[in-house]
Amino acid sequence: MILVTGGAGFIGTNFVRDWLAIESEPVLNLDKLTYAGNPENLAALRGHPGHRFVQGDIADRALLARLLREHRPRVIVNFAAESHVDRSIHGPGEFIATNVVGTFALLQEALDYWRTVLRQDPGFRFVHVSTDEVYGSLGPRDAAFSETTPYAPNSPYSASKAASDHLVRAWHHTYGLPVLTTNCSNNYGPFQFPEKLIPLMIRNALAGEALPVYGDGRNVRDWLYVADHCTAIRAVLAGGAPGETYNVGGGSEMPNLDVVHTLCRILDELRPRDDGSSHEQQIAFVKDRPGHDRRYAIDSSKIQRELQWRPQHSFASGIRKTVQWYLDHQDWVQHVVSGEYRHWLETQYGATGEVKP
């Protein structure tokens, strides 16, 4: 059994679905179901004997203690977080509550479980999924972030993730908990909540709405197809050394405006506008994000060298698959945007929100 937290969010959903498609080991999926957690993502797993979903908060120590003792996972993979930079600027409180206090609670309960129930089994793993944003912002010619780049977080989101990474590091150095941390670049792919750049642009383009590009659109991100991130986490779980951190990137650095142009061109081909003009005419430059990091780039040579991981998708192949997925799942987008999936949750799972396998 593995315990996955945040497994109803974007990356967690992809991770759980991929895991159950490949492995025979069951998954206990703990997710608070915030606005970003969507049980509809897991509908295909209904009745799957290897999937058990529990609605709950990683900051709830009594719940964690009970789940760990009842299910005795050999691994914890922590995806649970508040993840959207813009939301962290408007309201940082939830980011501190989940990313900092929640990670602290999870570490404390994992440590107690590892010590008392597992009797310090050296095979136990706690994988903490973090971000490249903890390293701050790069200039155009700066070297990419490596595992030894000093932390310099700039947003409430990245500061809260940096704090959680430091806690994870300390629980290894002080208590010996077998933790591993991954610092990953921008993911894209199926099930991403349409508040993030790529799904938001696809949705707005199809709805005939403006495509809001922050500032001059020249901020650079390194794009990683989500399935490649999931294989990286599995590689770290299988072969990573406790106490180590691994940078994970797609090797696809690109200015935001180029991403948006690429999306417009694919949509022009697959779903042309009624008037025959390009979706590019919907692009609108808007006020910049406060403190907007200019460039992220990841040096993932360590995980490539030590764990033989490589991304299997180029940006060209991953983005085409992603656009096609959103075109094929317009109902999913509509439910998310309309908030209908909240009602679906109550109808489907009742008041407890717990999915019985």
Does the annotation count 132 as an active-site position?
A: yes
Q: Please provide the size of the chain in residues.
A: 357
Kindly name the residue from 132, 165, 293, 299 that is annotated as catalytic: 132
Classify 52 as helix, strand or coil.
strand
Task: Note whether 137 binds ligand NAD by CB under 6 A.
Answer: no
Q: In what order do the strands lie in the sheet with 186-188?
A: 186-188, 220-225, 253-255
Dihedral over alpha carbons 116, 119, 122, 124 (to 10 degrees): -40
Task: Note whether 185 binds ligand DAU by CB under 6 A.
Answer: yes
Look at phi and psi of residue 6 and say left if phi exceeds 0, alpha if psi is from -120 to 50, else beta.
Answer: left
Query: Which residue, 51 or 313, has its beta carbon nearer to ligand DAU?
Result: 313
Does the annotation count 274 as an active-site position?
A: no
**To the nearest whole angstrom, how small is the minimum distance from the Cβ of residue 292 to ligand DAU?**
6
Q: Considering CB distances under 5 to 8 angstroms, the limit depending on partner class, which of ligand NAD, ligand DAU, none binds residue 219?
A: ligand DAU
Task: Note whether 82 binds ligand DAU by CB under 6 A.
Answer: no
Residue nearest to ligand DAU (CB): 131
Judged by CB under 6 A, the residue of 35, 151, 214, 349 near ligand DAU is: 214
Per-residue binding letters, 105-134, with ligand NAD (x by CB under 6 A):
------------------------x-x---
328, 271 contact by CB (below 8 A): no
Judged by CB under 6 A, the residue of 176, 212, 242, 243 near ligand DAU is: 212
CB environment 193-225: b (16+ within 10 A), e (fewer)? bbbbbbbbbbbbbbeeeebbbeeebebbbbbbb
Structure token pair of residue 351: 């008041």
Task: Note whether 311 binds ligand NAD by CB under 6 A.
Answer: no
Task: Note whether 85 binds ligand DAU by CB under 6 A.
Answer: yes
Kindly name the residue from 40, 82, 135, 157 that is annotated as catalytic: 157
Beta-carbon contacts of residue 354 (< 8 Å; ≥ 6 apart): 53, 54, 55
Q: Considering CB distances under 5 to 8 angstroms, the limit depending on partner class, which of ligand DAU, ligand NAD, none binds residue 256?
A: ligand DAU
Dihedral over alpha carbons 47, 336, 201, 284 (to 10 degrees): -170
Rounded-to-integer distance, Cα 62 and Cα 39, Å: 23
**To the nearest whole angstrom, how small is the minimum distance from the Cβ of residue 184 to ligand DAU?**
7
Does the annotation count 225 as an active-site position?
A: no
Task: Note whether 83 binds ligand DAU by CB under 6 A.
Answer: yes
**To the nearest whole angstrom, how small is the minimum distance from the Cβ of residue 34 to ligand NAD?**
4
CA atoms within 13 A on the CB side of 177: 29
Given the rule CB under 6 A, which of 183-191, 197-205, 287-295, 342-350 is the region that contacts ligand NAD? 183-191
**Positions marked active-site:** 132-133, 157
Kindly list the residues in this chain that would bind ligand DAU in the complex (CB under 6 A).
83-85, 131-133, 185-186, 196-197, 200, 212-214, 219, 221, 256, 289, 296
